[in-house]
Amino acid sequence: MLGTSSQTPTAERNHNGYLVRFDGEGILVDPGEGTQRQLLRAGVAPSTITAIAITHDHGDHCLGLPGVLARLALDGVTRPLPLVYPSGAAARVEALVDVAGPHAARVVGHPVEDAGSSPEAILALPARGGPSGRDGLGGLVLEAAALDHRVPTCGYRLVEPDGVTMDPSALAARGITGRDVGLLQRRGALSTPAGTVALDQVSAVRRGQRVAVVMDTRRCDGASALADRADLLVCEATFTDAHADVAPRYGHLTARRAGRLASAAGARRLVLSHFSQRYRSLDDHVLQAREEHDDVVAAEDLVRIAVPSRA
């Protein structure tokens, strides 16, 4: 959590910034003003950033982009850096890239054109050290869907490809051991003295993990789709019930509505963020969200929050 404040930073909270680290990838979502310094304070090397995704072009979500790009170049990063953003934010995002100057990190733009309410694959990542690809897209897949804010806005979801869990008793019953287990996994079937054994006869599908980031939105289908069965859902909770009438007017959620979103979508852990500067305490945010969903964490700057392990 590099920054957890909304429009105005506070003494305790920086503008938005979320670094999702998964299988050797580092997806920086919404580099708000001050992100470069927050990385330093968090003890995170900027060179761990392998892609950047911007939800929309409001300043608290993107004004730190030039500094991050300049710092990556200073640290010797020469690889092209994928930069994902809504096509409606192209003018401002491209201007910020220009501000970084000719010696900044080289970006490869991935504007999200006509995002709908169903998440669509935007970027394939190699999942260094992780599982093999899915549907020809590579390893991890970054998906985007449209949100309902005052300007064109996208939410994002990082999806791990599905894997398999082998059943030791089923393998033993068919006399499959050692190297043959790996061959079966790679080929999908294996010839044995007792006949051909298919992978699905001795295994079960292990659904890939999902991490979703839903910022600046009213309730909408896109937010629900991104949150669907997320293992970790980072969601804006700008207001409490005390300002429930204000939230939709400005294109935001309350903590309670974030809790309802997580519960209805079957998300596992809900991380609340993007708090209005008017709140000195987050107790009401957590209380109201927990009345709707069990596993709720209020984000604090520089805190690392783990994807919850599966039983």
Which residues form the catalytic set?
60
290 residue type, one letter: R
Label residue 23 left, alpha or beta by phi (over 0 means left) and psi (-120 to 50 means alpha): left
Q: What span, in angstroms and rounded, lies between the C-alpha atoms of 65 and 56?
A: 12
> The tokens 């804010």 sit on which residue?
149
Q: What is the CA radius of gyration of the chain?
A: 21
DSSP state of 250: T
Tell me the C-alpha distance between 90 and 230, whole Å.
Answer: 28
Give whole-number Cα distances, 99 to 32, 122, 138, 188, 212, in Å: 15, 25, 32, 51, 29
